[in-house]
Amino acid sequence: AQSVTQLGSHVSVSEGALVLLRCNYSSSVPPYLFWYVQYPNQGLQLLLKYTTGATLVKGINGFEAEFKKSETSFHLTKPSAHMSDAAEYFCAGDLGTGANNLFFGTGTRLTVIP
Amino acid sequence: DAGVIQSPRHEVTEMGQEVTLRCKPISGHNSLFWYRQTMMRGLELLIYFNNNVPIDDSGMPEDRFSAKMPNASFSTLKIQPSEPRDSAVYFCASSLEAGGINEQFFGPGTRLTVL
């Protein structure tokens, strides 16, 4: 069955440390994958997306994600965390069901410790 | 473009009252989605429309919830009668299906509190 799974509902990192948020998908066809960020009291904003082509995708605010078909993963990384990165992050996928809705993960809340 | 517009941004009502949430999608988009977000259940898809037609309403909690999209630029989500457990943030999102890439653009949400 198609699904998007985020491992870890809460992640804490120190300011300046590497950020790694995990996302795995299950799809019978090549997916389109997205990372969204939600700041407090705001809607979701697109960080980056993978459609086809280059598997390393760069997004806004220094984030990037790598599509790994062999691992069915699309983990989000940032080399150095900033206080302003504290937010909730959602992985989502168009998993080729023929419908145009996205499968969303359950979200990961990132805390950045000064 | 102004993005997805939702109104009201905040709504406080009493149990039993009717609540209507409104959404204006991005001009030219052909799909519209209603989501509900709570601490307990996270982000849930309630219903989505394609070309103004409801495609999947399996996420609508119960008959108290209804959604309409009378035209390409307007949608409503109605709760009648409202209950305290309906308290949540309701998001509207829209997308343009182009080449199969369905990137969704979210509105700022409506925070609903039912007393």
Residue A45 near chain B (CB below 8 Å)? yes
- Residue B20 CA to residue A33 CA, distance in Å, equals 32
Residues A1-49: pLDDT tens digits? 788 999 999 999 999 999 999 999 998 888 899 999 999 888 999 999 9
Is a pLDDT exceeding 70 seen at residue A100? no
Share of chain A above pLDDT 70, in %: 96
User: What is the three-class DSSP state of A53?
Assistant: coil
Q: Which chain B positions have a beta carbon within 8 Å of A94's beta carbon?
A: 100-102
Residues B64-98: pLDDT tens digits? 999 999 999 999 999 999 999 999 999 999 998 76
Asked whether A89 and A76 are in contact (CB, 8 A), the reply is yes
DSSP string, chain B: ----EEE-SEEEE-TT--EEEEEEPPTT--EEEEEEEETTTEEEEEEEEETTEEEE-TT--STTEEEEEEETTEEEEEESS--GGG-EEEEEEEE--BTTB---EE---EEEEE-
Task: Give the model's pLDDT for residue B35.
Answer: 95
Partner residue opposite B103 with nearest CB, options A41, A49, A104: A49
**Given the DSSP bridges, would you call strands A44-50 and A56-58 parallel, antiparallel or unpaired?**
unpaired
Are B45 and A101 inside 8 Å of each other by CB? yes
- Residue A7 CA to residue A30 CA, distance in Å, equals 21
- Residue A54 CA to residue A20 CA, distance in Å, equals 20
B-chain residue closest to A105, CA distance: B43
Are A94 and B101 inside 8 Å of each other by CB? yes
Task: Give the total residue count for chain B.
Answer: 115
The single-letter DSSP state of residue A28 is S
Partner residue opposite A99 with nearest CB, options B55, B105, B106: B55
Q: Which chain A positions have a beta carbon within 8 Å of B43's beta carbon?
A: 90, 104, 106-107
For the record, the structure tokens of A89 come out as: 């992050």
Helix (H) or strand (E) holding A107: none
Asked whether A20 and A77 are in contact (CB, 8 A), the reply is yes
A-chain residue closest to B4, CA distance: A43
For the record, the structure tokens of A105 come out as: 């993960």
Is a pLDDT exceeding 70 seen at residue A98? no
Rounded to a whole number of angstroms, the distance from the CA of A94 to the nearest CA of chain B is 7
Amino acid in the structure at residue A21: L
Q: Which chain A positions have a beta carbon within 8 Å of B111's beta carbon?
A: 41
Are B102 and A94 inside 8 Å of each other by CB? yes
Q: What is the pLDDT of chain A when averaged over all its residues?
A: 92
